[in-house]
Amino acid sequence: MHATFTFTDELNDFLPHYRRGKSFSLEFAPHQNLKHMLESLGVPHTEFGRLLVDRRPVDSGILLWEGAQIIAYPADSPLLEEACFILDNHLGQLATYLRVLGFDSLYRNDYQDEELAQVAVAQQRVLLTRDRRLLMRKVIRLGYCIHHSNPKKQVAEVLKRFKLFEQIKPFQRCLKCNTPLQPVPKQQIIDRLEPLTKKYYDEFRICPACDQIYWKGSHFERMLQMINEMYSQL
């Protein structure tokens, strides 16, 4: 049997160049449902939203029929009351940037796919990855396939996808281990500070897990500049 597929907007990014921006016919077996067909074309279920078959809204579990006309739209941005993420091994710089902005972002460079999926489900975290096959696992409900390879563009992409600009709270999380920071009196850590830091800064925070100290130095100014750059990309 054959069906005709049309993908809209950014869903075309998942298709080979010769199929982007156009309708195309595809052969399928009677037992294959719509979700299976869409994922066989390279589009994870976390990425598509409204689906029309012969102009009628349908669920992705529907079985198709000869001559069906499918239109797939991108998923709507989910509203995250408190955004928390888990990131695949290749997204270390993105994890750092998200922590800079105050977002709970789990990351290790030795996660296995099974562990990523299990933690994402158990802790209701959004799984961020560039691995489409990982997002195609049935258990994954919240996930996003990162399009860009540049980390700064990746951050802007995530903020825009999940509408997080109003939730940015810099200077809140440890960049090394993701633990929430705590205020610490200057006198308590003064013997660990460089001379110029002692002289010019009075507000400090400390990570209760790894003991890293933070203050609003030049790195903080660069962070604010980065946030402004992201706003300009909207």
Do 96 and 83 meet the contact criterion of CB atoms below 8 Å apart?
no
Closest CA to 122 of 141, 137, 136, 135: 141
The pLDDT > 90 percentage for the chain reads 82
How far is 10 from 46, CA to CA, in rounded Å? 13
Handedness of CA 191, 196, 200, 205 (dihedral sign): negative
Could you tell me if residue 166 is left (phi over 0), alpha (psi between -120 and 50 degrees) or otherwise beta? alpha
33: DSSP letter: B
Report the number of secondary-structure helices (H) and strands (E) in the chain: 8, 12
The pTM assigned to this predicted structure is 0.91
pLDDT tens column, 65-119? 999 999 999 999 888 888 999 999 999 999 999 998 999 999 999 999 999 999 9
Question: Which domains, from first to last, does the chain contain?
Answer: 2-74 (3.10.20.30), 77-170 (3.40.50)
pLDDT tens column, 19-63? 999 999 999 998 999 999 999 999 999 999 999 999 999 999 999
